[in-house]
Amino acid sequence: MKKFIFIKTSIEGVFIIEPTVFGDERGYFMETYQANEFRDAGITAEFVQDNQSKSVKGVLRGLHFQYTQAQGKLVRVIKGEVFDVAVDLRKESKTYGKYESAILSYKNKKQFYIPPGFAHGFLVLSDEAEFTYKCTNFYNLDDEGGIIYNDPEIAIKWPLKEDEIILSDKDKSYKKLSETSTNF
């Protein structure tokens, strides 16, 4: 029995993943990753690092990428709800500069797979959210880059108003995609 449904998105290589959840009055159990099923779906990534963050409503983290040590990410929410976004930075891609998004929550248990060559960000919609992600490459502070979240050329439809969004100083400093060099 397959334990995951892999939903292709409008951008090649990006998937929304729905796990099979086995539950009863005691609670639930689910697998969050299984190499063979992911490989059969075309996701051959090898994950080398797991991360977790906690944020309050309105926090927008992103849009982040690494210049030379690109990271693929398998992301999910273990508490709360977020609006998650992947922006295609692969210059040879027919969807360069386009984005795909998904609502991820503790309730829906969906995951989002973002391959290397993308900028990634998320906006917290619930009072707080805990967010986990597996990465295909190690984080390197000196290799970090980003794109401003409200780049009009990308035109992400964030589900909160501008004055409800909380950004770090670093995320406020990023420029538009057309003003940012990438190596993908």
pLDDT the model gives residue 1? 77
pLDDT the model gives residue 33? 97
Tell me the pLDDT tens digit for each residue of 23-32. 999 999 999 9
Average pLDDT over residues 36-60: 97
What percentage of the chain exceeds 70 in pLDDT? 100
pLDDT the model gives residue 183? 80
The rounded mean pLDDT for the chain is 97
CB within 8 Å of 23: residues ≥ 6 apart: 29
Is 133 annotated in the active site?
A: yes
- Name residue, tokens 């406020």: 172
Q: Which listed residue (64, 99, 113, 149) is catalytic?
A: 64
pLDDT the model gives residue 184? 84
Spans of all domains in the chain? 4-179
pLDDT the model gives residue 57? 98
pLDDT the model gives residue 173? 97
Average pLDDT over residues 154-177: 97
Tell me the pLDDT tens digit for each residue of 10-25. 999 999 999 999 999 9
Cα–Cα nearest to 5, from 16, 155, 127 = 16
Q: Specify the fold of 4-179.
A: Jelly Rolls (2.60.120)
pLDDT the model gives residue 88? 98
Residue 61: band (very low, low, confident or very high) from pLDDT cuts 50, 70, 90: very high
Q: What is the pTM of this model?
A: 0.95
Q: Which listed residue (113, 133, 149, 174) is catalytic?
A: 133
Exposure pattern of 70-95 as b/e (b: 16+ CB <10 Å)?
Answer: bbbbbbbbeebbbbbbbbbbbeebeb
pLDDT the model gives residue 21? 96
Average pLDDT over residues 136-165: 97
Is 67 annotated in the active site?
A: no
